[in-house]
Structure 1
Amino acid sequence: MKRLFTATTMLALLLACCALALASSGGPGLTADEALAKLKEGNMRYVAQASVAPHQDAARRHETATDGQHPFATILSCADSRVPLEIIFDQGVGDIFAVRVAGNVAAVDEIGTMEYGAEHLGVPLIVVLGHTKCGAVTAVVKNEPVTENIGQLVAPIVPAVKSVKSRFASASLDELINKSIEANVWQAVSDIYAKSPLLKKMAAAGKVKVVGALYDIDSGKVQWFGEHPSNASLLGK
């Protein structure tokens, strides 16, 4: 009996065949663009249900325990349990330097962690990853009552939401939330440059690349935004 293959099935098989070679290239020596390609390929495998879950065995644990960590990408993402970084990018132990916080905000703790990744670990790529249906952004858009600590936590989101509301005053609530989620990604990128002279200097010198992205918690796909629309201006070029 002949077996019919759909385009999705064939893509999954192709990605699976290439996965071992893709996963074997480690973090040290990768350029930012190579690191970005690695994340894109991993997400494609995940969406196509062709994940290979690399670097998750005892040998990898021993390697990183003995030789240290050499992650190829730093990802600032929301702490939302529906955004498990190593799974959605099909990576493993020692691959991703994860910085997770509600609303993927870039404040002191997050920026300090990213500075460590860039300066001490040599990570060439920083991804600010927002996601659909973000509770933190939604709370700010709706101006929901929160505790004092949560209020301080989501404070960096407020400028993005205010900007969206002023530009799209007639938009529906869902539209405001979606636009604010994307605007908050750019807000975090701006905050990284504004609050970290080190990362700004490294980005201006081409030693670090900062890009924005959005994860769809339903489809599993990552939409890649690239660098900030005003990247050159933010870096003082």
Structure 2
Amino acid sequence: MITQTKRTQDMLTPVEAYRILKEGNKRFEQNLKAQRNLKVQVIETSMGQYPFAAVLSCIDSRVPVELVFDLGIGDVFSIRIAGNVVNKDVLGSIEYACKVAGSKIVVVMGHTRCGAVKSACNKVELGNITSLLSKIKPAVQVIENSQKEMDEKDMEKVAIENVQLSIDRMKQESEILFQMEKLGKIQIVGAIYSVSTGRVDFFESDSDLT
């Protein structure tokens, strides 16, 4: 696999970036790896970086973005925060990735059995965690059934809803990202990673990215 350069990044479209991520996850799921020399990539990226993707994901130790998509050094901006929530710093990071550094796709990726989602569903309050979980509460409220405690299936629905709401916030609160997607310069997509299988399921169908 080649190291991303300004030329290869410029040649990629959002659709092609999406395809690279899907193919990388398929290899990961099958326990395969693309051949790459990481030491060479360290050297080749030492003078500059041209990642083709930005991925907002959870801090969960079971969801290492570069491994999940079988990526190398210099391929992706990885923004990690508990519950893959959106705040100004996250938005600024993604704006930099796309507007300044040229990334072609933004993926908001939640995952199954998410501790932050479970804590939000259970209404945990603890230090600064309380403020973070408040950003997941809108997703909880969409799914919540006041007649009973939320079960595991409900919590997985919250994780999916939380990804969608994070995407909505991204588009509402970042004029830069909203306009870039409107002009076709980037694509913003949602996904859920299964900690049991290693599979990433994207919300959008392939027809949405053509």
What TM-score results when the alignment is normalised by the length of structure 1?
A: 0.80
| Cα deviation digits, residues 140-183 of structure 1 (max 9, x gap) | 11112321x111122211111111115x8668511220110000
Name the count of aligned residue pairs.
Answer: 202
| Structure 2 match to 1:151 | 130
How is 1:140-179 mapped onto 2 (pairs within 5 angstroms)?
Answer: 140-147=120-127, 149-165=128-144, 172-179=150-157
User: Is 1:96 paired with 2:68?
Assistant: no
| Structure 2 match to 1:107 | 87
Provide structure 1 residue ranges, at least 5 long, that are not aligned to the other structure.
1-19, 228-237
How is 1:217-232 mapped onto 2 (pairs within 5 angstroms)?
Answer: 217-226=195-204
Residue 205 of structure 1 deviates from its aligned partner by: 1.2
Same amino acid, percent of matched pairs: 36
How is 1:20-59 mapped onto 2 (pairs within 5 angstroms)?
Answer: 20=1, 26-52=8-34, 54=36, 56-59=37-40
Provide structure 2 residue ranges, at least 5 long, that are not aligned to the other structure.
206-210
User: Contact between 2:83 and 2:116, CA under 8 Å: does it hold in 1?
Assistant: yes
Q: CA RMSD in A?
A: 1.9
Which aligned segments of 4 or more residues in structure 1 are displaced greater than 3 angstroms?
A: 23-28, 168-172
Matched residue type, 1:43: N
Residue 62 of structure 1 deviates from its aligned partner by: 1.1
Larger RCO: 1 or 2 (CA < 8 Å, sep 6+): 2
User: Is 1:73 paired with 2:53?
Assistant: yes
User: Contact between 1:72 and 1:123, CA under 8 Å: does it hold in 2?
Assistant: yes
Give me the whole-angstrom Cα distance separating, in 1, the residues matched to 2:13 and 2:194: 26
Give me the whole-angstrom Cα distance separating, in 2, the residues matched to 1:170 and 1:226: 32
Q: Secondary structure at the match of 1:27?
A: helix
Give me the whole-angstrom Cα distance separating, in 2, the residues matched to 1:57 and 1:35: 21
Match of 2:65 among 82, 85, 94: 85
User: Contact between 1:137 and 1:157, CA under 8 Å: does it hold in 2?
Assistant: yes
| Alpha-carbon distance change, 137 to 36 in structure 1, aligned in 2, over 3 angstroms | same
| Cα deviation digits, residues 80-106 of structure 1 (max 9, x gap) | 110001111101100011100000001
User: Contact between 1:28 and 1:70, CA under 8 Å: does it hold in 2?
Assistant: no
User: Contact between 2:106 and 2:187, CA under 8 Å: does it hold in 1?
Assistant: yes
Match of 1:133 among 113, 118, 131: 113
Q: Secondary structure at the match of 1:112?
A: helix
Residue 24 of structure 1 deviates from its aligned partner by: 6.2
Matched residue type, 2:64: P
Greater C-alpha radius of gyration: 1
Q: Secondary structure at the match of 1:162?
A: helix
Give me the whole-angstrom Cα distance separating, in 1, the residues matched to 2:33 and 2:126: 39
Residue 63 of structure 1 deviates from its aligned partner by: 0.9
